[in-house]
Amino acid sequence: MELKDLGILIVDDDSIIREMLRLILKKEGLTKIEEAGDGEKARIMLHKMKQDVVFLDINMPGEDGFSILDHIKADYSATHVIMFSAETSAEKVKKALAAGASGFVAKPFNAARVIDNIKKIFPDLDV
């Protein structure tokens, strides 16, 4: 499999954040990128199509990222979740990883860290 073949879902209530992350991923050649602005839409998108990786904001109005992470782990166990937040305390990162996240990225995004998180999940990808 190649990096460009991965299905990606970006979940964040801030459209500017979603666009920033989309641009980072597109620059790396990823093309199968979907977006959701809230937990309800994320659930619909997960049901509609297979996602290999979900980039998931922790703090959103309504359903938070941890609730969506629980849903993904229960119903889409092959889907990897990389959580992100502007709040990057060690406690928050540990909580995300303990809840089943495959990685964590701080906002604002560093492109290299975003791609490194994907490569850690899929070390055999052709990049």
Token pair 């889907």: residue = 79
Q: What is the pLDDT of residues 16-74, one digit of tens each?
A: 999 999 999 999 999 999 999 999 999 999 999 889 999 999 999 999 999 999 999 99
Pick the CATH number of 3-121 from 3.40.50.2000, 3.10.129.10, 3.40.50.2300, 3.90.1150.10: 3.40.50.2300
Cβ proximity of 85 and 115 under 8 Å: no
- Helix then strand then coil, in percent of the chain rounded to 5, is 45, 20, 35
Token pair 């500017």: residue = 16
Cβ proximity of 29 and 23 under 8 Å: no
The answer, as to whether pTM is greater than 0.85, is: yes
End-to-end CA distance of the chain: 9
Query: Does the structure show a pLDDT above 90 at 1?
Result: no
Instruction: Write down the domain spans for the chain.
Output: 3-121
Q: What is the pLDDT of residues 70-107, one digit of tens each?
A: 999 999 999 999 999 998 889 999 999 999 999 999 99
Torsion sign across C-alpha atoms 41, 46, 49, 53: positive
